Structure 1
Amino acid sequence: MDVKPVLPPAVVPPMQMSCTYSDAYPSYMHNPRASSPPRCAPDNDFVQQQIVLPQPAIKKFDGDPMNYWSFVRAIESHVHRRTTSEKSRLVFLLQYCEDSVATKLEIYSKDTVSGYSKARSRMYYDYGQPHIVANACERRLKLFQPVRQGRPKELMDFSDLLEKCRSSLEDIQEYASLNSLDTLKQLIGKLPFDLQERWAERSFQLLEETGKQAGYLAFTSFVVRCARVANSLFGREVVYKAVRDKPRIEPRQGSRAAAYSISFSKFDGANSKNSPNPVSCVCCKQSHGLSVCPEFDKMTLLKRQGAAWKKV
């Protein structure tokens, strides 16, 4: 009885191939003129899985409460889920913090069991509490310089800051401090006058539609849209045209020193003896001008100004 040999299992090719029905029954088997079989195209999904993507770079945390929650999400995604070692997690956490923050967390490096959890808890109490994040946003917005008329770049910078604050407040669901009337008035005052008028109309329209006073979120959406319009192609053209057509103010004739100099023509010697109504010196009551008065010459600058303007 003949025993058939056991064949080894088929070897799976290193790259999966996606072949059509015509590839399973190629035409070259029936066509004697075909010299070689067609090649199968590799599967695109499989090829994309084999590509090694570069390691994402995490921006270091600088101690700004506005950046706390975005930093936490990055650590959770790229460090916390990729290792179960508390010691390794703490090492990476210290690596991705600036020196001012890492110095506070280095005291937990000796604890290899719960050092990472204690460091994360310390960061939350120092930078991530809702009132700390909200106060940081409010302070940054109030310190922003008012946007000047016809400056699209400044308006875009203001809208970027408003959006960043909105993103930070969404993480903690805290808008009360920025929805206050005093804060909104200060933010509105940073806009050019024409945008303040447009916001007054827009806020009243929202009040009629919703029955509620417009708050920080509505104001942010309004400024973002205005900034995008101002920085568009035709928006910039309108701004540049307004700057070109703006009438120029001619400077005053004469030097700047002459504009701020004190004239002594009223008290000059020419007006004292030669004029029909002679005047006496306001300093020493003698019949000469103030500019030639010896007492006036001995006075300090502040006293001279007081004496000169005494009878102006």
Structure 2
Amino acid sequence: MSFYTSAPASISKPVQSELAVQRQLLDIISLPKTCLMTFDGNTMDYWVLMNAYDSAVGRSSASDGVKLNRLLQYCTGKAAQVVKPCGKMNATEEYARARALLKERFGNNYMISEAEVKRLTDGQPIKSNDGQALRG
């Protein structure tokens, strides 16, 4: 819900720009709290997590230390084992390293394709009249 409508034409450009920023901030503040999924290392979930993470945290103006702590918080299992050592050094370097390690280990497009093919070929056979199974 936006609290402002368009600014009157009589307002100067800098003031209009400031009003636009205030409008964006008010819109963001009024959004519900975001709860991200955790990532356990399942390659099929890598891009889902990273897209959600980047929308909620990665593209924010927060420091790399804050971003790294959040990334560590959302990783469990195998993924946590990969990024946990990154919490011990320079936050800026280690944040970039943690993201690179996650992508290398779990976001490799070839591995994701292989996992999807395996899921499809190892699954139960689908009957020709089972529309829901064909969609799913």
TM-score, scaled relative to structure 2 = 0.71
Q: Alignment partner of 1:109: what SS?
A: helix
1:104 pairs with 82, 99, 102, which one? 82
Aligned equivalents of 2:37 and 2:28: distance in 1? 27
Contact 2:44 2:116 in 1 (8 A): yes
In the TM superposition, what whole-angstrom CA distance separates every residue of 1:202-228 from its partner, at most 9, and x where no partner exists? xxxxxxxxxxxxxxxxxxxxxxxxxxx
Aligned to 1:68: 46
Instruction: Select the structure of larger CA radius of gyration.
Output: 1
Q: SS state of the match for residue 114, structure 1?
A: helix
Change (3 A) 1:141 1:88: same
Q: Which runs of 5+ in 2 are unaligned?
A: 6-22
* CA root-mean-square deviation: 2.6
Distance in 2 (CA, whole Å) between partners of 1:69 and 1:133 is: 10
1:157 matched residue in structure 2: 133
Equivalent in the alignment of 1:55: 33
**Partner secondary structure for residue 59 of structure 2:** helix
Deviation per CA, 1:100-148: give whole Å up to 9, x if none. 3112211010122311110111011101112111111111000110123
**Partner secondary structure for residue 82 of structure 1:** coil
Higher relative contact order (CA 8 A, sep 6+): 2
Distance 1:102 1:146, change over 3 A: same
CA distance in 2, matches of 1:62, 1:134: 18
Residue 126 of structure 1, aligned match among 85, 91, 105: 105
Aligned runs of 1:1-312 on 2, under 5 Å? 49=27, 52-111=30-89, 112-148=91-127, 150=129, 152=130, 155-160=131-136
2:41–2:77 contact (8 Å) kept in structure 1: no
CA distance 1:79–1:148, shift in 2 (3 Å): same
Q: Is the 8 A contact 2:39 2:49 kept in 1?
A: yes
Matches of 2:79 and 2:4, distance apart in 1: 49
Aligned AA (1:156): Q
What is the aligned-residue identity percentage? 27
SS of match in other structure, 1:145: coil
Specify whether residues 16 and 67 from structure 1 end up closer, same or farther in structure 2 by C-alpha distance, changes over 3 A only. Answer: closer
Tell me the distance in 2 between the aligned counterparts of 1:126 and 1:76.
18
TM-superposed deviation, 1:84: 3.7
**Are the structure 2 counterparts of residues 76 and 147 from structure 1 closer, same or farther at C-alpha, using a change threshold of 3 Å?**
same
1:79 counterpart SS class: helix
Superposition deviation, residue 51 in structure 1: 6.7
Residues in 2 aligned to 1:81 and 1:113: alpha-carbon distance in whole angstroms:
14
1:50 offset after TM fit, Å?
8.6
Q: Is the helix fraction higher in 1 or 2? A: 2
Q: Cα–Cα, structure 1 residues 110 and 51, in superposed 2: closer, same or farther, change >3 Å?
A: closer
Distance 2:77 2:62 in 1: 25
**What is the distance in 1 between the residues matched to 2:102 and 2:87?**
14
Which stretches of structure 1, 4 residues or more, deviate above 6 A after TM superposition?
none
Q: Where does the alignment leave 5 or more consecutive residues of structure 1 unmatched? A: 1-14, 18-44, 161-312
Number of residue-to-residue matches in the alignment: 114
Contact preservation (8 Å) 1:83, 1:89: no
Query: What does residue 9 of structure 2 align with?
Result: none
